[in-house]
Amino acid sequence: MSQLRVPGPTPCPPEVLKAMGWQMVNHRGPEYHEMITEVTENLKKVFQTKSDVLLLTGSGTGGLEAGVVNTMSPGDKVLSVSMGVFGDRWANIAKTFGADVVNLKFEWGKAADPDVIKKAINDNPGVKTVMVTHNETSTGVTNDMKAIAKVVKDAGKLLVVDSISGMGSLPLPVDEWKIDVAISGSQKGWMVPPGMAMVSVSEAGWKAREAAKMPNFYWDFARAKKSYDEKKENPWTPAISVVYAFKVALEMMMKEGIENIFKRHERIGNLIREGMKAFGLPLFADPTHASNTVTSVSIPESLDGKKFRQILREKYKVVVAGGQQTLDGKIFRIGHLGMVTEKDVKEILSAIEKTLPEAGFKK
Ligand SMILES: *Cc1c(COP(=O)(O)O)cnc(C)c1O
């Protein structure tokens, strides 16, 4: 079996794969009602929220679009805080739907600076909403969401957060940090296949929903809430097999305990980074904000990055990701989120160590 170590999709435990093979049920019937209630209640524990968590069928980007169209009106001034590919994509979505986007961009590999965000909010008094990426998967950087949330909420703005590759692996207590909309995706830290986005909505988030005038139908949070509250259903046919997978994966997560899951990701992030340093490979992300779910490694002069990933994949059965956009050929990325153990890290590091000289690397 190969080690799939890209930052999503991530490997699924055998129990979860088995659940994916369960026979279909009526998504308007009692078995489904029971299952979606259990999944939603467990998701709330991971999101650490007493507000609503909605299950939307679609990929993470669908969740990002939903986060935009449910909280904004065309012409609304919104501050996009971006430090990579996914932040830029999200700004683009908001722009596509007619938001007046103020772009605040940070150097790729660096985290967003809360003081600079504070200044940007002060300099742009019309801003209603702030969009922030919690964990930028393209660069392997985790923002200090607690500090960022504080400046945004102290200023009285709506805070919408892309935590697609963070939530479930990194702490993001939605209620405590007052995050209005937090978005995740099933195929990242959840040990579940692709197919669903999960979104929490605060009280202020629901007020924004009422005021929002961007066109939406499929992604309408209000329809999703009504359907869940009144019937324990989704407005449209959900990805039922992904809900099965969630049921089992969340049971496993509850058993491990979310604090233990966060600690495991921290330990594993450290082990991966230490391993890279020991090989003499430079880390791309600012070490003070290095992500514990994805590690970005700069490709040194002597290393043929393409050959490296090919040998690693074909000979040693470890699949890692390349860089995106301007980082293509400059970095490779190791995903270590969801189902990942210290034993996996040993295998990954051992495979990389063997591959490096074969792909030309000289220390
Ligand atoms: C994966 C990811 C996305 C996109 O999710 P898709 O499921 O591919 O649409 C967006 N933002 C971040 C931070 C991600 O890691």
Determine whether the shortest distance from the Cβ of 165 to ligand 1 is under 6 A: yes
Q: Which two structure tokens, joined as six digits, stand for 339? A: 């189902």
The predicted-structure confidence for 246-260, as pLDDT tens digits, reads as follows: 999 999 999 999 999
Give the C-alpha separation, 137 to 134, whole Å: 9
Residues 361 and 308 sit within 8 Å (Cβ to Cβ): yes
Q: Give the DSSP letter of residue 292.
A: S
Mean per-residue pLDDT over the chain, rounded? 98
Determine whether the shortest distance from the Cβ of 137 to ligand 1 is under 6 A: yes
Does the pLDDT of residue 2 top 90, yes or no?
no
Distance of CA 99 to the CA centre of its chain: 23
The amino acid occupying position 334 is I
SS3 13: coil
Distance of CA 295 to the CA centre of its chain: 14
Structural class in CATH, domain 3-8+257-358: alpha beta
Distance 86 CA to ligand 1 centre (A): 7
The predicted-structure confidence for 137-168, as pLDDT tens digits, reads as follows: 999 999 999 999 999 999 999 999 999 999 99
Determine whether the shortest distance from the Cβ of 79 to ligand 1 is under 6 A: no
Does the pLDDT of residue 363 top 90, yes or no?
no
SS3 332: strand
> Which residue bears the tokens 């400046």?
151
Distance of CA 267 to the CA centre of its chain: 19
Determine whether the shortest distance from the Cβ of 139 to ligand 1 is under 6 A: no
Distance 164 CA to ligand 1 centre (A): 6
Evaluate the CA torsion angle 67, 68, 73, 77 in order and state its sign: positive
Does the pLDDT of residue 51 top 90, yes or no?
yes
Atom of ligand 1 nearest to the CA of 86: 11
The predicted-structure confidence for 125-142, as pLDDT tens digits, reads as follows: 999 999 999 999 999 999
The predicted-structure confidence for 318-358, as pLDDT tens digits, reads as follows: 999 999 999 999 999 999 999 999 999 999 999 999 999 99
- pTM confidence score: 0.98
Q: Which two structure tokens, joined as six digits, stand for 10? A: 């991530």
User: How is the chain split into domains, by residue range?
Assistant: 3-8+257-358, 14-255
Q: How many CB atoms lie within 10 A of CB 55?
A: 21
What pLDDT, on a 0 to 100 scale, did the predictor assign at position 205? 98
pLDDT band at 181 (very low <50, low <70, confident <90, very high): very high
3-state helix, strand, coil in the chain (%, to 5): 45, 15, 40
| CATH annotation of 14-255 | 3.40.640.10
What pLDDT, on a 0 to 100 scale, did the predictor assign at position 80? 98
Determine whether the shortest distance from the Cβ of 162 to ligand 1 is under 6 A: yes
Give the C-alpha separation, 52 to 57, whole Å: 16
Distances (CA, A) of 122 to 75, 100, 149, 182, 302: 19, 16, 15, 24, 46
Distance 360 CA to ligand 1 centre (A): 32
The predicted-structure confidence for 80-124, as pLDDT tens digits, reads as follows: 999 999 999 999 999 999 999 999 999 999 999 999 999 999 999
What is the dihedral angle through the alpha carbons of 172, 177, 180, 182, rounded to the nearest 10 degrees?
-10
SS3 224: helix
